[in-house]
Amino acid sequence: MPYEYDGTKYDPSAHGKRRVPPVGNYHVTITGAEEQVSKGGNEMMALTLEIVEGDYAGTKLWHYIVYDDMAISKFGSMLDSLGMDSGAEARIDGRLLLNRSGTVKLKHELYREEEKAAVHYWISDPDAVQAPVKSTPPATESEHQYGPDDEPPAEDDEPPF
């Protein structure tokens, strides 16, 4: 099926001007979850998250949980945040996580010489959302994060692990 393009809605000056959400706690919904293999050959869960409220509502984030020694802790805190039973044995399938909401703490990190927002950890207290730190300067043209209408990173933009 061809894409119906409407050039009247294209703003060339907006290209590359994505805003990075400030460090802070955000409510997110899991909009994508699939099992993948990292460049290093490790199995992992690739999650697509979307911030659901505030000035950054609609911003997409990508979070990867590699199936290693830290996976139990990472999945446990995520399940707690999503309101799911983290104390039971289960096979975690991405389909069970879709459309579930929780809270994450975002941090900033450099990826390919650009600052981006990344999930630092999941928070189990739903009341932990706070206003982002206001001292963060507005994003410059070279700083960006995927916005509500952006596609996931291209194949060569995978995480470096």
Question: 3-class secondary structure for 16-49?
Answer: CCCCCCCCEEEEEEEEEEEEEECCCCCEEEEEEE
Q: What is the pLDDT of residue 136?
A: 45
Could you give the 3-state DSSP secondary structure of residue 50?
A: strand
Give the residue from 122, 116, 125 showing the smallest Cα distance to 150.
116
Q: What is the pLDDT of residue 160?
A: 52
How does pLDDT run along the chain (161 residues), one tens digit per residue? Answer: 788 888 887 766 655 556 789 999 999 999 999 999 999 999 999 999 999 999 899 999 999 999 999 999 999 999 999 999 888 888 888 999 999 999 999 999 988 888 899 999 999 875 665 545 443 444 444 444 444 445 555 555 555 55
Give the residue from 113, 97, 120 showing the smallest Cα distance to 160.
113
Q: Could you tell me the domains of the chain?
A: 21-142 (2.40.50)
35, 45 Cβ separation under 8 angstroms: yes
Q: What is the pLDDT of residue 137?
A: 45
Q: What is the pLDDT of residue 127?
A: 65
Whole-structure pTM over 0.85, yes or no?
no
* CA gap 146, 117 in Å, rounded: 9
Q: What is the pLDDT of residue 129?
A: 59
Q: What is the pLDDT of residue 134?
A: 43
DSSP string spanning 58-116?
A: T-EEEEEEESSTTHHHHHHHHHHHTT--SSS-----HHHHTT-EEEEEEEEEEETTEEE
